[in-house]
Amino acid sequence: MTGIVIAIDGPAGTGKSTVSREVATRLGLAYFDTGATYRVATLACLKEGVDFSRTSDVAAMVATMNVELVLDPGAPRVLLDGEDVSRQIRTDTVALTVSKVATNLEARPILQEMQRTVIRHELEAGFSRGRGVCAEGRDITTVIAPEADVRVLMTADDEVRVARRAGEGADRMTVREAVLGRDRRDSAVVSFHEAADGVHTLDTTDLTIEEAVRAVISLAHEAQL
């Protein structure tokens, strides 16, 4: 798919990461989990003992951290100072802290510009050789890539979302706070519960992953007609 950008937003537990990776794989696109940029920024602050209440200090860390993203949908990775931290950024500690970076109004614009640069690079010469990128997050359809060829907001029932994440082996109460608590905090700076004009809503409450993937791919083919 030449030069296509697929943007998928939505809260945690809707299946957007799994669906986005599979869509990218099938269409030969780069896969960009923009949420990983907030997570690795959080990890960088934790490693350096940055006080999250000092917004300028957090922004300074975000602006100077050494991060490399591998956007292969088959094996996406995040490197911090050359170290593969793909597993570390998925820990409960990071999950319960990441909103402190995501809601930091000095740090957030820095990460947003980083995300735009990554998408632009993938379209020009990246891993996918200019064929495009499937990016997922919370504000991709409205702020990062509002001109994307396909824009989708994935939603699902709250209890279904918590159950999906708890099913991955984590403590259910911790998962509830990580999922619903983060939604509550992040909603102060970004809207990701209702689709903006031109954005397709895909409710995955009763859908299988395969059905959701096919729905997004169908929209991609329609966009290329």
pLDDT tens profile 78-112: 999 999 999 999 998 998 899 999 999 999 999 99
Q: Is 86 annotated as a binding residue?
A: no
Question: Is residue 15 part of an annotated ligand binding site?
Answer: yes
Task: Determine the pLDDT at residue 159.
Answer: 85
Q: What stretches in the chain show pLDDT beneath 70?
A: 1-2, 125-130, 167-171, 186-188, 191-193, 225
Q: Is residue 17 part of an annotated ligand binding site?
A: yes
Using CB atoms within 10 Å of the CB of residue 223, give its burial: 0 to 12 exposed, 13 to 18 middle, 19+ buried: middle
* Alpha-carbon distances of 211 from 25, 128, 162, rounded to whole Å: 16, 25, 20
The class (CATH top level) of 4-216 is: alpha beta
Instruction: State whether residue 189 is helix, strand or coil.
Output: coil
Say what the pLDDT of residue 181 is: 72
The answer to whether 128 and 30 are in contact (CB under 8 A) is yes
- What pLDDT does residue 188 have? 62
Whether residue 12 contacts residue 164, with contact meaning beta carbons closer than 8 Å, is answered with no
User: Exposed (0-12), middle (13-18) or buried (19+): which is 196, by Cβ within 10 Å?
Assistant: middle
**Maximum distance among all Cα pairs of the chain, rounded to whole angstroms:** 51
Task: Say how many Å lie between the first and final Cα of the chain, rounded.
Answer: 11
* Distances 115 to 11, 99, 122, 201, 219 between C-alpha atoms, Å: 18, 17, 11, 23, 23
pLDDT of residue 225: 64
**Rounded distance between C-alpha atoms, residue 185 and residue 223, angstroms:** 34
11 marked ligand binding residue: yes
Residue 170 near residue 96 (C-beta atoms within 8 A): no
Q: Is the dihedral of CA 105, 110, 135, 182 positive or negative?
A: negative
**pLDDT score, position 176:** 80
Taking the domains of the chain in order of start, what are their residue ranges? 4-216
Question: Backbone dihedral region of 67: left (phi > 0), alpha (psi from -120 to 50 degrees) or beta?
Answer: beta
| Residue 18 assigned ligand-binding role | yes
16 is in an annotated binding site: yes
Q: How far is CA 146 from CA 20, 153, 167, in A?
A: 17, 12, 33
